[in-house]
Structure 1
Amino acid sequence: MEEREMRTALIHPRDTDLEKLYPAQTIQMPIDHFHNDSIYEPHTNETFLLRYWFDASHYQPGGPVIVLQGGETDGAGRLRYLQKGIVAQLSQATNGLGVIFEHRYYGESHPTDDFSTKNLRFLTTDQALADQAYFAQNVVFPGLEHLNLTSHNVPYIAYGGSYAGSVVAFLRKLYPDVYWGAIASSGVPEAIYDYWEYYEAARIYGPRECIEATQKLTHAIDNVLINHTDTEYPQRVKNIFGLGNITRNDDFANAIAQGIAGLQGLNWDPAVNSTEFGHYCGNISSTEVLYPGIAEREEAKELLAVGGYDEVKLVNQLLNYIGYVDATAVKGCKRRGKSQDESFTNYDSKFYQQDDITQEWRLWAYQYCFEWGYLQTGSGVPADQLPLISRLINLEFTSTVCREAFNITTPSQVERINKHGGVNISYPRLAHVDGEWDPWRAASPHRIGLPGRESTVSEPFILIEKGVHHWDENGLFPNETRPGLPPKPVADVQKAEAEFVKAWVEEWHKARGDMMYGDDMGDL
């Protein structure tokens, strides 16, 4: 495999235009797979063009088709996994054909002419699952028309990360005769309406100084905003942050709460890693003033006292927090030439009414409003625990988009998702791979507090040490690796994935009586 990878690296340099290397293909997909379900009324018999990409360079007869579910984004953004990530690795190890499969409505796979609420009725997890099953049963790969590479004739293995990880987990359970196996990486099979636990990973695993400072400063500011509403102090807090023109207190609390959310962006792969979480923590943890002159020290000290804190070092940390918000939020608003309410409000009815085909923000918002939830609040944090974001960020605030954009006024129908098993989902040849530090771990089978599971070849159950969000998905060319890159926990899990997928493919052939298969499969 190393020689093959080296050849690939020479042919496909890092600056290759992946969309030229892997031209987009399309398949005619039914818009409506469920004519007996009233939520899709009025029904339609029409089809749309759903995009996919494939790489058959590793394929040999008997190899599987590895399908990566693109999830809630443009599928073209997943092509790097076809070139050198998890799809390439599994294809090489099994002599397989790799596929990136675009989720309906995302990218250019549009079933409708606009994203009006009426036309988003076909954007459900059930329809997406049926799409992926239909693909496996009907696809004819261009240039390989002489081969029957449908699920009737070859084993199909699905991979997905995050939301897409949940999709492939459900796919394996609901369509077991179509998809022989699936890997759910950082999958979130438990839909949770109030997902305050999103910030638990940061609280548990983040740098202590950063977390303690964030909790105390958030608590102090909340004490001012919530307990002193009829005084001058809430306005003074906004003023010291340079955000005095934000009208609503909850909008202000949300505007200053973005830094702590950066944990999810950490990645071992330098090409996609975000340093924002470290930047935020480095600022707020420092007890030395990093932004001289950013605000009046005595004003900061008084506001902290009103909020219930008189720690000397916390004054400097508040000043650094103010400097961080100025650099990452206030100055950006000024550069755009917009008012602070225009830049930061969550209550923009005019914006929410936009529903033409360019309004891609509506897609995942509709999905979580309708059936997934995951509203990330500070109000849901237990009363005996200091939150990392304001308690003003509550369900009323976070569900604004649901009411304003889609007229969804009731909680998300999470039972539509959780009927498949939630965090307890289990099925033969369904692997769960999660990150120890992942903010989405609380919605996964590796949720802290659940009984552990034995990891087997049939049902692998792997937690990546110090890993975050689907860290096994990325990959490097051999000439890009160096000591510690990829990290050993990632390299180990990718090797394990190749081994158990090879075992699954061999099992498929043995079940069909193909006893000679397996001798020529690639090695990692």
Structure 2
Amino acid sequence: MLRLKFVAIFLLLAKLSTCHDLNAFDLIHGDLFESHESRAFEEKFITQKLDQLNIFDDRTWQQRYFSSNQNYTSGSPILLVLGGEWEARPSVIENGFLGQLAANLSAYTIYLEHRFYGQSRPLPDLTLESLSYLTLEQAFEDTAVFVQTLKNQGFDGKWILVGASYSAVMASWARARYPHLYHAAYASGATVLAVIDIPEYFEVMGKAFEDTDPNCPLVIQTGMSQLKDLVQRGESATITSLFNLAEPINLFEPDDVYLLYYTVSQVYGLMVQGADPGTLEAKCSALIAGQDTPLQTFAQVYNDHINNASLSVDASKVVEKYQNTNYTRSFIRQWMFQACTEFGWFNSVFSPNQPFGPIVPLFFLLKFCTSVYGPEFTSERLDAGIERTNMLYGGLNPEVTRVIYTVGSIDPFNPAMLSSDVSADAPTVIIEGGSHCNDLTNPAKPDDPDSFIDARTKVIETLAAWLAVDV
């Protein structure tokens, strides 16, 4: 439902492909970065208040972070990588552009895990009472207290925030909120506009496929049309087999049919959202090669992309899974709580200007909020939360300085991102052919497209120039 390369999600799928409770929502969020073992970073913990906004509440918890002085030279900056809706793993810094940036800046590097994700667990469960402490404002205060604590310990260099996706939003807004703590920020794939729905998500997806090959979206469109015909004819067994579903689909349950359509659409959306240079050409080649049998080809490309994982389209099981108040390997209960209260960023499949047609209305996705968290989590409540978020942080008109934004031209979430510079001191770099955050998550390589090389050069040069500024 939300973002994520929103994800090296396919590593997660490889691990969980035998789990029959995996579903479309699990595809949305997983580790944003690929993970390997790291020897350069030391795991540490810092004591934080449970309620950063209440001076009378003395309850505390342990927030996890990782630090490395491998690239550091005296007087260089501190690079603070903000964790988002995933578990922090420091190898991502070594293996992506983050590590190259840290080396270029000779930076001391810290990776701070977000409260309620990974091993940073302020409370032992995920009840609604516990989740009431999972807010953007509490996370902001965690970060500010963390930085001020380390400053007091002698880390008095210039701090640069770095974030990807949701944590890019945090980096941008935190720089605006606490300019005395953070000298600058690099925000990759920041959806700075809180909005209940981004139906343009699939429009951007369709355009990316069309630009790759004009015949490509036609196969997707025909395949989905033929899938809808199977649904109308009640051919449950055929659909279950074609899409390798975890259990036979109940075509008499409308929510299961919506979830089927959403699952298939989401997988194709993720092909674009997580695309690296050249990968869409391969997808389109496979689709066009099988255009004489569009439904079978449509299903095969879908299955190949998720490593033949068996996804559940039983909507009642999905709700039951995320009603569980225990910590699990999935962070969807936590993330969707944030989405249902402060951000939105849902992506209905209802615009007529995309290959799937209007098949999944927004109300189906919003039912997740009320079904999982309770009847008080209404669209009206979410509208109020979104209005407050945009009022506090400016939406598409943020008042920030020394923040550099990078936006991929084929990132399906870019309708909620900046499309031009905020100011000369807050530039936006549009990366032609860039997907969701892959300028940051992928390592820079000599054979990268010029747009990626130019964007990363701009990031390094801009941050270096800002570091030369004393205030």
Flag whether TM exceeds 0.5 (same fold): yes
* Percentage of identical aligned residues: 23
Closer/same/farther in 2, CA of residues 330 and 256 from structure 1, 3 Å limit: farther
Closer/same/farther in 2, CA of residues 33 and 465 from structure 1, 3 Å limit: same
Measured in 2, the distance between the counterparts of 1:16 and 1:139 equals: 27
Task: Tell me the alpha carbon deviations over residues 115-165 of structure 1, each in whole angstroms, 9 at most, x when there is no partner.
Answer: 11211111111111111111110127xxxx9x611xxx3211101111111
Task: Tell me the alpha carbon deviations over residues 439-497 of structure 1, each in whole angstroms, 9 at most, x when there is no partner.
Answer: 11111002xxxxx43874x22221112111112214549xxx5x51x333222222222
Closer/same/farther in 2, CA of residues 236 and 476 from structure 1, 3 Å limit: closer
Q: CA deviation at 1:87?
A: 3.5
Amino acid at match of 1:387: Q
The residue that corresponds to 2:410 in the other structure is 437
The residue that corresponds to 1:415 in the other structure is 387
The residue that corresponds to 1:298 in the other structure is none
Match of 1:127 among 138, 159, 177: 138
Amino acid at match of 1:134: V
Q: CA deviation at 1:111?
A: 0.4
Task: Verify the 8 A CA contact 1:159 1:182 in the aligned structure 2.
Answer: yes
Task: Verify the 8 A CA contact 2:320 2:372 in the aligned structure 1.
Answer: no
Gaps of 5+ in 1: 1-13, 37-42, 226-232, 290-315, 334-339, 447-451, 512-524
Report the TM-score, using the length of structure 1 for normalisation: 0.72
Match of 1:264 among 273, 282, 285: 273
Closer/same/farther in 2, CA of residues 363 and 390 from structure 1, 3 Å limit: farther
Q: CA deviation at 1:108?
A: 0.4
Measured in 1, the distance between the counterparts of 2:131 and 2:179 equals: 28
Alignment pair present for 1:467 and 2:444: no
Task: Verify the 8 A CA contact 1:219 1:387 in the aligned structure 2.
Answer: no
Amino acid at match of 1:366: F
Amino acid at match of 2:362: L
Cα RMSD between the aligned structures?
3.0
Task: Verify the 8 A CA contact 1:240 1:322 in the aligned structure 2.
Answer: no
Task: Verify the 8 A CA contact 1:242 1:326 in the aligned structure 2.
Answer: no
Task: Verify the 8 A CA contact 1:242 1:330 in the aligned structure 2.
Answer: no
Q: CA deviation at 1:23?
A: 2.1
Secondary structure at 2:42 match in 1 = coil
Q: CA deviation at 1:70?
A: 1.3
The residue that corresponds to 2:42 in the other structure is 23
Report the TM-score, using the length of structure 2 for normalisation: 0.79
The residue that corresponds to 1:299 in the other structure is none
Measured in 2, the distance between the counterparts of 1:440 and 1:325 equals: 21
Match of 1:71 among 84, 87, 90: 84
Closer/same/farther in 2, CA of residues 16 and 200 from structure 1, 3 Å limit: closer
Secondary structure at 1:320 match in 2 = helix
Secondary structure at 2:80 match in 1 = strand
The residue that corresponds to 1:294 in the other structure is none
Q: CA deviation at 1:350?
A: 3.0
Match of 2:333 among 362, 368, 389: 362
Task: Tell me the alpha carbon deviations over residues 340-385 of structure 1, each in whole angstroms, 9 at most, x when there is no partner.
Answer: 9xx2122224323211122532111111111111221112x1xxx3
Secondary structure at 2:45 match in 1 = strand
Gaps of 5+ in 2: 1-33, 243-247
Task: Verify the 8 A CA contact 2:222 2:295 in the aligned structure 1.
Answer: no
Trace 1:169-208 onto structure 2 (pairs within 5 A): 169-206=172-209, 207=212, 208=214
Match of 1:494 among 451, 456, 462: 456
The residue that corresponds to 1:313 in the other structure is none
Match of 2:313 among 344, 347, 350: 344
Secondary structure at 2:355 match in 1 = coil
Closer/same/farther in 2, CA of residues 125 and 326 from structure 1, 3 Å limit: closer
Task: Tell me the alpha carbon deviations over residues 160-207 of structure 1, each in whole angstroms, 9 at most, x when there is no partner.
Answer: 111111001100111111111111111011111122121122122213
Match of 2:221 among 201, 215, 227: 215
Measured in 2, the distance between the counterparts of 1:189 and 1:506 equals: 27
The residue that corresponds to 2:234 in the other structure is 235
Task: Tell me the alpha carbon deviations over residues 218-277 of structure 1, each in whole angstroms, 9 at most, x when there is no partner.
Answer: 35655886xxxxxxx341487466476433332332343344222112235xxxx9x5x6
Amino acid at match of 2:261: A
Alignment pair present for 1:398 and 2:410: no
